[in-house]
Amino acid sequence: MMFKRLELHNHTTESDSSLTCKELIELMENDKVDVFAITDHNTISGHSIIKELLNKGDYKIKCIYGMEYTTYYGHILCLNLPVYVPWDSIDFFKPELLFNAAKSKGALVGIAHPFSFGAPFAKGCKFEMKVNDFSSVDFIEVFNNPEPLHEVNEKGLLWWEELVLEGKHLAATCGMDLHGHWDMGNQYATYIEGEPDGNIDAELEKAIHTGNTWVSKGMLLICSVSDKGEYLKIKLLDAKKPGFIPSENGKYIINFKTKTKSFTTDIEEGSELSLPVHSFKNEEDKIIIPKLFVKDTSIENLVCISPVIHL
């Protein structure tokens, strides 16, 4: 078992990026990405190009084939999308019609940059559809790296946390939203568990459906519940992401957020903790969101969002 770094939101010259399909592959491989997605706007024309390049070239990197539905009411990321699904069913008040149409073809459906600036700056970039049934949504892109931290990404993170603590099963992802040769150093990436030669489509599907995703700049917060559910075992793992800026003194802060309280504790790289679950939650709390910070718990110092813990 290994942790795989995924870059799940990328564009090419098949839509509005300056990157050709070949340049996207080479940019990702040079940055030691394990898996990248092609998610051009409203087209899958790049799928066959990427497949041919990967088959003919000496590449180790894997690709997830998808698309970004770019509508006047919001952007929708579809991963593991094998065929083009028309979006003439788009409905402001019933987005589930489109979500389920894509899911019927095997796709994973998520909301991209939900609080991006919309009209009059960029009509459609902000997600404004009225979701009635969140079971039709698989994930939310809580960090879109190029977007403003407070005005966009922090709102996306807080919205995801609110939905999760209400009991919605939604994985957290992030993306570079690449449209050019951009630096990915010290930016958030999505991590999942998998096998060295595993089927990435199946591994991603399992990770998203079980909520077993990490959103991290490079240090992973690993939490596991003991067999009897009494203790939480915690450790850190350096994912060796290029450009990650680690803590200067090796010290980090963990925050556990539940519906009724928030609890913080310190951890040092290389150490392991075992905490009684009752020490940081109330009896009625069954859902815990773990996050890792450096220096303090301000969003500027957020390092990692760990998979949600269900007790």
Q: Are residues 187 and 299 in the same domain?
A: no
Distance from the first to the final alpha carbon of the chain? 24
Domain shared by 270 and 169, yes or no: no
CATH number for the domain that contains residue 264: 2.60.40.10
pLDDT computed for residue 119 by the predictor? 57
Contacts (Cβ under 8 Å, ≥6 apart) of 131:
95, 96, 137
* Same domain assignment for residues 120 and 235: no
Domain boundary among 216, 234, 262: 216
Please say which residue of 198, 216, 234 terminates a domain. Answer: 216
Residues 250 and 306 grouped into a single domain: yes
> Does 145 share its domain with 122?
yes
Tell me the per-residue pLDDT of 72-81, one tens digit each, with 9 for 90 and over: 999 999 999 9
Q: State the average pLDDT over residues 264-292.
A: 92
Choice between 89 and 17, residue whose per-residue pLDDT is larger: 17
What does the pLDDT read at residue 145?
Answer: 97
Predicted confidence band of residue 122 (pLDDT cuts 50, 70, 90): low
Which of 216, 242, 260 lies at the terminal end of a domain, its last residue? 216
How confident is the model at residue 282, as a pLDDT?
Answer: 84
Mean pLDDT of the chain: 96
pLDDT digits (tens, 9 = 90+) for 187-231: 999 999 999 999 999 999 999 999 999 999 999 999 999 888 889
Coil vs helix vs strand at 247: coil
Asked whether the predicted pLDDT for residue 289 surpasses 80, the reply is: yes
Look at residue 130 in the predicted model and tell me its pLDDT: 97
Do 205 and 224 lie in one domain? The reply is no
The share of the chain scoring above pLDDT 90, in percent, equals 92
DSSP 147: S
Tell me which amino acid residue 306 is. S
Q: Is 47 found in the same domain as 121?
A: yes
Shared domain for 70 and 11, answered yes or no, is yes
The letter for the amino acid at 135 is S
Two tokens at 245?
């800026």
Tokens encoding 187: 């930016």
**In this structure, is the dihedral angle defined by the CA atoms of residues 198, 200, 202 and 203, taken in order, positive or negative?**
positive
What is the number of structural domains in the chain?
2
Q: Strand pairing partners for 287? A: 310
Band of the pLDDT at 120, cuts 50, 70, 90? low
In the prediction, which pLDDT does 270 show?
94
Is the pLDDT at 243 greater than 80? The verdict is yes
Question: What pLDDT was estimated at residue 117?
Answer: 85
Between residues 41 and 90, the one the model is more confident about:
41
139: left (phi over 0), alpha (psi -120 to 50) or beta: beta
pLDDT confidence of residue 33: 99
Cross-strand pairs, 236: 221
Q: Are residues 71 and 117 in the same domain?
A: yes
Q: Which residue range(s) make up the domain with 252?
A: 219-310
